[in-house]
Amino acid sequence: MRPRRASDTRAVRRVARRTWRATYARIAPAALVATVLRRGYAHEALLRTLLDAARDAFVVEAGGEVVGYADAVLRTAAEAEVTRLYVRPDRQGAGLGRALLLACLSAARRRGAARVVLGVDRDNRRAVAWYRRQGFAPVGTDVFEAGGASRPLVRLARDLADAPGPASSPGAPVSRR
Ligand SMILES: CC(C)(COP(=O)(O)OP(=O)(O)OC[C@H]1O[C@@H](n2cnc3c(N)ncnc32)[C@H](O)[C@@H]1OP(=O)(O)O)[C@@H](O)C(=O)NCCC(=O)NCCS
């Protein structure tokens, strides 16, 4: 687990392609997936996010290569948003997503946030269930639009101060490995 660097751009894009296609093939229109991969993960777009002073970006490595990534952005003085969290399909279920989430929660707390929010595709049921196990609860809905298509999102939130789970102890290690 470490901060994302400019030199990670290509590796992150590779992970994004595999993970987005595997996750959303049966959920989201192909045009939406293609647009996000082309625009959101373009070299310049990824570099721009590294220049965002309100953002913390992480990658996780396994077997000597980047296999996952996550970003968190401070939206207001009290609230941060996890804007992306992806682990390559062949590395899922080994605790790497949890380690990435812990890094985001710790970073948000360091910036003074009291709450972390995020949006997940309503039909990405595995991810919704996973976030709920990490202490998040539904707080509303939203819509994600890209490539002339849209998808319904569930908005989830958890408090950083007193909720049980990975964010309960400030300064906790970001990885259990
Ligand atoms: C959702 C996602 C980020 C979760 O990451 P992950 O690495 O698969 O999840 P983890 O391995 O951390 O957690 C899965 C389970 O494995 C367990 N686990 C297995 N091996 C583990 C280990 N060595 N260390 C810690 N936990 C381990 C965890 O306890 C966890 O149990 P829980 O689900 O009851 O909490 C990941 O599956 C993913 O990228 N999915 C596709 C993309 C996606 O949907 N992203 C979210 C969109 S916003």
19-77 pLDDT, tens per residue?
Answer: 999 999 999 999 999 999 999 999 999 999 999 999 999 999 999 999 999 999 999 99
Backbone angles phi, psi at 159, to 5 degrees: -75, 150
**Contact predicate 12/3, CB 8 Å:** no
CA of 148 to the centre of ligand 1 (A): 31
Query: In this model, does residue 8 exceed pLDDT 50?
Result: yes
* Cα–Cα distances in angstroms (integers) from residue 84 to residues 46, 155, 170, in the given order: 12, 13, 22
Q: Does ligand 1 lie within 6 Å of residue 176's CB atom? A: yes
Amino acid 167: pLDDT: 45
CA of 93 to the centre of ligand 1 (A): 4
Amino acid 162: pLDDT: 53
Q: Where along the chain do its domains lie? A: 2-159
State mean pLDDT over 163-176.
45
Q: Does ligand 1 lie within 6 Å of residue 128's CB atom? A: no
Distance CA 72, CA 28 (A): 23
Among protein residues, the one whose CA lies closest to atom 2 of ligand 1: 97
Query: In this model, does residue 171 exceed pLDDT 70?
Result: no
Q: Which segments within the chain are labelled E, that is strand?
A: 2-3, 55-62, 65-74, 79-87, 115-121, 137-146, 149-159
Amino acid 174: pLDDT: 43
For a ligand 1 pocket test, name from 33, 69, 87, 133 the mutation site with the most ligand atoms within 8 angstroms of its C-beta: 87
Among protein residues, the one whose CA lies closest to atom 16 of ligand 1: 93
CA of 143 to the centre of ligand 1 (A): 24
Amino acid 161: pLDDT: 78
Scan for tokens 């220049």, then name that residue: 51
The alpha carbon torsion through 40, 45, 51, 52 (nearest 10 deg) reads -30
- The residue among 163 and 129 whose pLDDT is bigger is 129
Distance CA 88, CA 66 (A): 9
Domain 2-159 has CATH 3.40.630.30: yes
pLDDT by residue (tens digit) across 73-120? Answer: 999 999 999 999 999 999 999 999 999 999 999 999 999 999 999 999
